[in-house]
Amino acid sequence: MRYNVRTKLEYKKVELFIHSFVFCSLKIDFEFEVIKLIYGYIRVSSRDQKIDRQYEELKKLNIDDCNIFIDKESGKDFERKNYKKLIKKIKPNDLIVIKSIDRLGRNYDMIIDEWAKITKQLGAHIKVIDMPLLDTSTDNNLIGKFISDIVLQILSFVAENERINIKQRQAEGIKVAKAKGIKFGRPRVSLPQNHYEIFDGYICKDLSCEKAIELLDISRGTFFRLLKTYKRIIEY
């Protein structure tokens, strides 16, 4: 999901509305909970991507290195080695800190389910550095979770609409390309019949660069040259 200036302004409006609604309309007894242990989670999609920015943000919160878990895997699901190790360690009132919501995952429906598992089943908290509203450890437990649930539902709706628009634009681009008989690469480059789907998978971050290259059986340089051509065709 992309965050441009307009998106940030809309997010700010949502933030102001939710705070006004919660603090002016709800009567809740404040029962602050003490955070026990703070964990950090870092994820990048491939081994050649750097973790520096995420790591620096976590260290600003004085999180010990032994409590920072790092995965270099796709965010398509939660079957990640170190993420599963982290979840096994979590106890009630512990806090998981991530830099941005897409570091937890990409599919918002799955994120909502995982969020509920962590905050409700495990009784722990989550803090998203880039989105202050997504922090169940602030205010009191009930308000923090209430605000976060609303924000996640909004983000899920926006992300789903964006995903549908991208898929529609890609489908239209592929149709035009096929109608024009456009083919990728030089004569010596032979691509599988589903190469359109593979490029789509990489653009939508369902496939890592390495996996896409493996499926296409081409070099890294050729991959990015063909990807540039493909994006131009579909006007991505």
b/e per residue, 18-29, with b = 16+ CB within 10 A? beeebeeeeeee
Q: Considering all CA atoms of the chain, what is the largest pairwise distance in Å, rounded to the nearest integer?
A: 71
Token pair, residue 210, equals: 């390495």
CB contact at 8 A, 61 and 38: yes
Phi, psi for 7 (deg, rounded to 5)? -60, -40
Catalytic residue check, 45:
yes
Task: Using alpha carbons, select from 20, 22, 10, 11 the residue that is nearest to residue 147.
Answer: 22
Q: Which amino acid is at 42?
A: I
Query: Catalytic residue among 20, 25, 45, 156, which?
Result: 45
Residue whose structure tokens are 């908290």: 125
Single-letter code of the amino acid located at 57: E
What is d(CA 229, CA 215) in angstroms, rounded to the nearest whole number? 18
Question: Which residues belong to the active site?
Answer: 45
